[in-house]
């Protein structure tokens, strides 16, 4: 493996190990990949820890973009800056950083407003390439290997745009704060930024995975009086309690619609409803579970199929609101350092979301755990 580039010489291409997906749903294969030097405003990161997000699994299995293989997945990661490209002033070699699947350019219409985190320059990348020049930084035998969300952290090294990375203190545990680059932050932000959960309110959360439990934690910290968790996995009941869930519903054990139970528990409907499953059918159920007049439903999940949402118009006519949430509304560079600080001060819980720690060589086992719903977050530790 090539050593880190010195500050006096321009970065060169390096070869490292990466878990490459050669086709939808196919087991990842450990390959030697060439990682190009970082381009202008890019940094190359030596990945230290990466956790497996449900969206990695969904897109790995998806047949919607068969041309984007071979591909390296992974986006929820922490690492050390190995080299920097031209024009990068914020990062230096040796800095610790979180990678983020959306960026913040600081200058587009959305970035200069206080209304959105949907950067027009560094938004969600769906073509398997880098934002800057629409090409890849990975290759095998001279042929391109596609990125995922312009991060691709299932690799020992990854090139990301400097606007899609957040500098963090070297004192932070990288195998835990990596969760703040996606799942944990997405849930907390949905409760705080998107829904703005109020004290004494009632909340129902569909899906108690990493994101749903983080929503529960956010609602608890805001003082919600009733937090209902809905999940078909009975093991989530006890786990939910540690994140603030006060009531648990298992739809598999009901002989009536979930929304009817929620309405009884909340005197007509919850103030806030969150869909964290990734099922557009559940969006409609979540909308029916919130209150007439002011009920707000927030959808966070990435659907595996049927991306269209359908709901009876009467649900909206009666005053309910349906909103989407990407990364919890957080602006990566402006806001994520504040969450890291809250973690450092023990104001938010992240460690309890990690159920497994595994070496990089066992990444396929980690994917199986996710597919079997036997884990929340599995943190992959890269070779030192």
Give the residue-averaged pLDDT of 198-202. 98
Q: pTM value? A: 0.95
Residue 301 has a pLDDT of 85
**What would the pLDDT profile of 216-253 be if each residue is shown by its tens digit?**
999 999 999 999 999 999 999 999 999 999 999 999 99
Whether the CB-CB separation of 42 and 152 falls below 8 Å is answered with no
Domain range summary for the chain, segments of one domain joined by +: 14-181+350-381, 187-326
Residue 8 has a pLDDT of 61
Residue 98 has a pLDDT of 98
Q: Is the pLDDT of residue 2 over 60?
A: no
Alpha helices in 242-279 (DSSP H): 258-265
Rounded to an integer, what distance in angstroms lies between the CA atom of residue 98 and that of residue 133? 22
Residue 139 has a pLDDT of 98
Give the residue-averaged pLDDT of 318-347. 97
Q: What tokens were used for 189?
A: 């932000």
Residue 9 has a pLDDT of 78
Residue 68 has a pLDDT of 95
Residue 204 has a pLDDT of 98
pLDDT band at 1 (very low <50, low <70, confident <90, very high): very low
Q: Is the pLDDT of residue 194 over 50?
A: yes
**What would the pLDDT profile of 24-54 be if each residue is shown by its tens digit?**
999 999 999 999 999 999 999 999 999 999 9
Give the residue-averaged pLDDT of 154-170. 98
Q: Is the pLDDT of residue 80 over 70?
A: yes
Q: Which CATH superfamily is domain 14-181+350-381 in?
A: Medium-chain alcohol dehydrogenases, catalytic domain (3.90.180.10)
Rounded to an integer, what distance in angstroms lies between the CA atom of residue 237 and that of residue 259? 18
The contacts of residue 226 (CB under 8 Å, 6+ apart) are: 201, 202, 203, 246, 247, 265, 266, 270
Q: Give the 3-state secondary structure percentages of the chain, helix then strand then coil, rounded to 5.
A: 30, 25, 45
Sign, CA torsion 86/327/191/318: positive
C-alpha triplet 288, 182, 126: angle, nearest 5°: 85
Whether the CB-CB separation of 345 and 118 falls below 8 Å is answered with no
Structurally, what CATH architecture does the domain formed by 187-326 represent?
3-Layer(aba) Sandwich (3.40)
Give the residue-averaged pLDDT of 349-358. 98
């Amino acid at each position: 493996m090539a050593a880190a580039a010195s500050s006096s010489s321009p970065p060169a291409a390096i070869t490292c190990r990466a878990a490459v997906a050669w086709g939808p749903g196919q087991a990842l294969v450990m390959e030697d990949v060439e990682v190009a030097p970082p381009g202008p405003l890019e940094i190359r990161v030596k990945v230290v820890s990466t956790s497996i997000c449900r969206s990695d699994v969904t897109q790995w299995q998806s047949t919607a973009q068969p041309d984007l293989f071979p591909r390296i997945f992974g986006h929820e990661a922490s690492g050390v800056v190995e080299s920097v490209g031209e024009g990068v002033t914020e990062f230096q070699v040796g800095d610790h950083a979180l990678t983020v699947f959306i960026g913040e350019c600081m200058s587009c219409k959305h970035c200069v407003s206080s209304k959105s985190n949907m950067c027009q320059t560094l938004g969600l990348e769906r073509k398997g390439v880098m934002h800057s020049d629409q090409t890849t930084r990975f290759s095998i035998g001279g042929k391109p290997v596609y990125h995922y969300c312009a991060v691709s952290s299932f690799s020992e090294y990854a090139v990301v745009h400097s606007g899609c990375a957040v500098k963090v203190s070297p004192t932070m545990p990288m195998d835990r704060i990596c969760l703040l680059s996606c799942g944990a932050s997405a849930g907390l932000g949905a409760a705080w930024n998107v829904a703005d959960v109020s004290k004494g309110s009632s909340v129902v959360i569909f899906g108690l995975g990493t994101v749903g439990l983080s929503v529960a934690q956010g609602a608890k910290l805001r003082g919600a009086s009733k937090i209902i968790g809905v999940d078909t996995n009975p093991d989530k009941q006890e786990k939910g309690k540690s994140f603030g869930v006060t009531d648990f519903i298992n739809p598999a054990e009901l002989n009536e619609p979930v929304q009817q139970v929620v309405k009884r528990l909340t005197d007509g409907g919850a103030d806030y409803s969150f869909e964290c499953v990734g099922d557009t059918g559940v969006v409609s159920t979540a909308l029916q579970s919130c209150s007439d007049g002011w009920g707000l439903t927030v959808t966070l999940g990435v659907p595996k199929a049927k991306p269209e949402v359908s709901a009876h118009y009467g649900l909206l006519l009666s005053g309910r609101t349906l909103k989407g949430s990407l990364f919890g509304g957080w602006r990566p560079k402006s806001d994520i350092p504040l969450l890291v600080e809250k973690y450092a001060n023990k104001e938010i819980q992240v460690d309890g979301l990690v159920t497994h720690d595994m070496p990089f060589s066992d990444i396929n086992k980690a994917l199986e755990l996710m597919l079997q719903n036997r884990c929340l977050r599995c943190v992959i530790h890269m070779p030192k």
